[in-house]
Structure 1
Amino acid sequence: MKYFDYAASCPLDQEAAEVYVKAASSYYGNSSSLHDIGDQANELLEYSRNQFARFFEVSKDGIYFTSGGSEGNYLALQTLLSGKVKRGNHIITGMAEHSSVLNTMEKLRQAGWDITKLPFDSGGRIDVETFRNAIREDTVLASIQHANPEIGTLQPIEKIGALCREHNILFHSDCVQSFGKVDVAQIARAVDSLTISGHKFYGPKGVGAVYLNPALRWESYAPGTTHEGGFRAGTVNVPGIAAMTVAAEKAMKNLEVYEEHYHMLREEFLQSLAPVRSWCTVYEADLPSTIGMRVDGLEGQLIMNEANLRGFAISTGSACQVSLQAPSKTMVALGVEGKAVKEFIRITLGRETKVEDVRELGEALVKIVRENG
């Protein structure tokens, strides 16, 4: 089967896998233990912390390792709220945020917080003036995802961050879909926290990282927590973190090479759709590896199933919402209505994707459209 769902998860990089096995076999101590074996594990952990601080161009004191993006988003938001810099109970976020953010917002709403969710403009971005107009005297926190996982647009995080600083609003950004595809160092300077997840850039599943501005004062979400400076409970996954670090090093080293590869594949794929292009709405993307589109009159679920039968793995949106058979959050945020909201499909490209792969997928989709349209 040809895989086109890299935004959901990537295969583990071979070098990262080898490092994982080596670390799990030779650096197996608990990094918090005070004996020599624990010290060895801690040295590897701190090397990884230093590397991610270098990637983000921040102090290593602000790097905390987690079990992935969802936990990272939840803990970052709760931690920021524990250290909010002014009184208030209003939070701004986006309509198309990852489910881990939206679920946290719902939990906060039930606890009495006032949540404003912003839509996208026609280009798939949150308008800076719309954000400005949503700010209130009691706004204490904002959370805006850097890269949309369904159409690949990048949000104006630096401009929104400037507004947040102007109004003493703490600012979080989910960078799970962007890290490893673009340099996020400028984003780190614009926010108070950000999250990444290893398996989105060829690292292992079950490991991620959070940057939290070390200048902030905050309280542990779970009292008595000692691991990761009190940010997160639980034994630290040193082998997973070491493997994620190797995957991140490779991703950062080859950003331009991979971007050029994805641009070329995207163009080839779109050319292959020429016979049915008038049926298709393809959304513009800042990340060329993400192709979000709709086919007029055909549900995305049907196209996905037909593609699967022909040996191609595509999706109908973010993996964390597909199992619910809910409409794409991105389509809703864009104002797409009626039956069209369920027409969405997502094709995401990877390092292993070849020109012939995208051409074959395009030819298969042309057949699916002609047979079912």
Structure 2
Amino acid sequence: MIYLDHAATTPMSQNAVETFVKASTEFFANTNSLHEQGEKSKLLLNQCRKEIANLFHADSQEIFFTSGGSESNLRVLESLYLGNKYRGNHVITTTMEHPSVHSFFHKLENNGVNVTYVGVNNDGQVRLNELEEAIRPDTILASIQHVNSEIGTIQPMQEIGSLLKKHDVIFHSDCVQSFGKIPINVVEFQLDALSISSHKIYGPKGVGAVFLSKNVKWKPADLLTTHESGFRQGTLNTPGIAAFTTAALDMEKEQKANLEYMRELRQLLLEQLSPISHLIKVEGDIENQLPHIIGMGIHGLEGQYMLLTLDRHGICISTGSACQSEKLEPSIAMKALHRTSQEAKRFFRISMGIHNTREDILETATRIVNCVYEKEGKVIGE
């Protein structure tokens, strides 16, 4: 099996598995319990909080653990909105965001809040002039993702942060796809909040975190909440958080090497697809793109057909965000890029991981080229 759907989820690393097992047996007590075992678990939790905070230059008291990226997005956005809605009735996001972010803003619209969905250019980057024009005196909050999960576009975070700070607009970013893969600095980006997830970086599912600046106002989304300083209800998943932290530290240690390796694999794939390059449209700008993610379409073939064809050969890819796949809706990115209905149907995504090999990429490229050549009765690499 060749797994090329890492933007959807990743396998747990051996280090993360071992940490999870150890924490499950030795640090199982509730971190809010007052006995010695509870205090032991709390010490581990606080160490994890500090380690995660250090990875993007935050303070440990600014980290709140959650059940994953989607909950992180929904909960932090609601907490920020509730804490600042007295300042105005206008918020901003983009047309390229994750479904969880769009879900929150649609909810606000239904409650009478004015929402502006800023567009993107042909490569998926936010138009800074359009963003600035969208800001109003009553704008209180903006949520703009760091890296797009479908085409890998990286947003100009420092420029966006500087612009929003100038207008005193709270800046949240969905960093689920970027965390652990490229540097994040909340100070340089002038971020007030961000969301991250464990299972995108070889940690366990069901764990995530939020950075929420101590300098920004917020209110709990749920009443009578005591866990996580009032940010979230429920007993914390201490083993999962410990395994998440282990995975994050491992990714940080190997970040430069992993990034270079992903660039090499990406280049190899595109080189091997050169026989059909005239039929391929690779989305995004390679200069501002996470190399792990390759979103593309091939003229004459639907993305769903390519997915099923590769799956028959034991190769796993996707046709977009896993969070919208059950509804088989057109890719959010393709809609945001104003691609035609036919172009949207052609779209599929290859997302590579650190365990993929050159042989994986060579085999995948051969199967893709063969899929295209089948119409002409020509097969290669058999």
| TM-score bucket of the superposed structures, by smaller chain | over 0.9
Q: CA deviation at 1:217?
A: 2.7
> Is 214-223 or 260-269 further displaced after alignment?
214-223
- Matched AA of 1:349: M
- Give the 3-state SS of the residue equivalent to 2:199 in structure 1: helix
Q: Given that residues 146 and 155 in structure 1 are in contact (C-alpha distance below 8 angstroms), is that contact kept between their aligned partners in structure 2? A: yes
CA RMSD across the alignment: 1.3
Cα deviation code 1:156-211 (max 9, x no counterpart): 12211112111121111000000010111247751110000000000100001100
Q: Structure 2 counterpart of 1:39, which letter?
A: E
Report if the CA contact (8 A) 1:85-1:169 is conserved. Answer: no
**Matching residue of 1:318:** 321
Query: Does the aligned pair in 1 maintain the 2:158–2:188 contact within 8 Å?
Result: no
Distance 1:188 1:108, change over 3 A: farther
Residue 47 of structure 1: how far off its partner (Å) = 0.3
Residue 348 of structure 1 deviates from its aligned partner by 0.6
Residue in 2 that maps onto 1:296:
299
Residues 1:370 and 2:366 aligned together: no
* Post-superposition offset of 1:339: 1.1
Number of residue equivalences: 373
Q: CA deviation at 1:64?
A: 0.4
Contact preservation (8 Å) 1:297, 1:340? no
Give secondary structure in 2 for the equivalent of 1:298.
Answer: coil
Q: How does 1:1-373 map to 2 (within 5 A)?
A: 1-84=1-84, 87-186=87-186, 189-283=189-283, 284-285=285-286, 286-372=289-375
Unaligned runs of 5+ in 2: 377-382
Structure 1 gap segments, 5+ residues each: none
Q: Does the aligned pair in 2 maintain the 1:298–1:372 contact within 8 Å?
A: no
In 2, Cα distance between the equivalents of 1:165 and 1:341?
35
Contact 1:80 1:218 in 2 (8 A): yes
- AA of the residue aligned to 1:341: A
User: Could you tell me how far apart the structure 2 residues matched to 1:130 and 1:368 are?
Assistant: 41
TM-score scaled to structure 1, two decimals? Answer: 0.97
Segments ≥4 residues shifted beyond 4 Å: 186-189
How many Å separate the matches in 1 of 2:327 and 2:181? Answer: 28
State the alpha-carbon separation in 2 of the partners of residues 291 and 267 from structure 1. Answer: 11
Could you tell me which amino acid in structure 2 is paired with residue 91 of structure 1? V
2: CA distance, partners of 1:372 / 1:54: 53
Instruction: Name whichever of 78-87 and 153-162 sits farther off.
Output: 78-87
Instruction: Give a deviation string over 1:285-304, Cα, whole Å, max 9, x none.
Output: 42111111111121111111
Q: Residues of 2 paired with 1:172 and 1:217: CA distance?
A: 13
Deviations 1:261-296 (A, max 9, x none): 101111111111111111001123421111111111
CA distance in 1 between partners of 2:304 and 2:170 (Å): 39
SS of aligned partner of 1:204: coil
SS of equivalent to 1:323: helix
Describe the SS at the equivalent of 1:84.
helix
Return closer, same or farther for 1:97/1:188 CA change in 2, 3 Å cut-off. farther
CA contact (8 A) 1:143 1:173 kept: yes
Residues in 1 aligned to 2:24 and 2:320: alpha-carbon distance in whole angstroms? 34
Offset at residue 215 of structure 1 (A): 1.6
Instruction: Pick closer, same or farther for the CA change 1:113–1:85 going to 2, 3 Å.
Output: closer
Distance in 2 of aligned mates of 1:372 and 1:9: 33
**Partner amino acid, structure 1, of 2:357:** K
Residue type at the aligned position of 1:331: M
Q: TM-score, normalised by structure 2?
A: 0.95
For the 8 Å contact 1:157–1:187, the answer to whether it is kept is: no
Q: Give secondary structure in 2 for the equivalent of 1:148.
A: coil
